[in-house]
Structure 1
Amino acid sequence: MSRRAAALHILVKTQKQCQELRTQLEQGANFQQLARKHSICPSAKRGGELGEFKQGVMAPAFDKAVFKGPELQVQGPVKTRFGYHLIKVLYKR
């Protein structure tokens, strides 16, 4: 049976911008508000919400961060062919 997860993410073009957003999150900024304002992914309209997805569906580096990393903690910058991501795993099963 394949594993599943749900996550939020913020996708930006540069590692520098990604790190700046991470710093804001560490200082208490709201993840979903930053996603709406800065993410270049269509999921920005939903505050970065990706919904539930199966392991192996996302880009390899993204998938590894989601399924090997901790829940409810911001991870990143994670580089994929799309850009740089900050990822917050909501749950895994």
Structure 2
Amino acid sequence: MARTASALHILVKDKEQAEDILAKLKKGNMFDVLAKKYSTCPSAKKGGSLGEFKQGDMVPPFDKICFSGELLTPHLVKTKFGWHVVKVLYRT
């Protein structure tokens, strides 16, 4: 049976903006509000929600953090699409 995860993310073009968003999250800003404001991904309309997905469905660096990173802690991940602030909600 394939492992699954659910995550939120905010996609931006540069590392500095991703780090700024991460700092805002640490100060208590809401993830969904920041996703709607800054993310260039279509998921921004859903507060950055990617829903549930299977291991291997995402590009490798993103997949790795979703299936091995700490839950509920925002992480920075660089992929061919840009910089992601990723918050993994759960995994099975």
Q: TM-score, normalised by structure 2?
A: 0.98
Percentage of identical aligned residues: 54
Measure the CA separation in 2 of the matches of 1:51 and 1:28.
23
1:70 shift after superposition: 1.1
What is aligned with 1:85?
84
One-letter code aligned to 1:61? P
Structure 2, gaps ≥5 residues long:
none
Deviating above 2 A after TM superposition, structure 1's stretches of 4 or more consecutive aligned residues are none
Counterparts of 2:79 and 2:32 in 1: how far apart (Å)? Answer: 21
Code of the aligned partner of 1:81 = K
Quick check: 1:55 aligned with 2:55? yes
Deviations 1:7-36 (A, max 9, x none): 000000000100000011111110110000
Q: Cα RMSD (Å) of the superposition?
A: 0.5
Name structure 1 gaps, 5 residues minimum.
none
Instruction: Give the paired residue count.
Output: 92
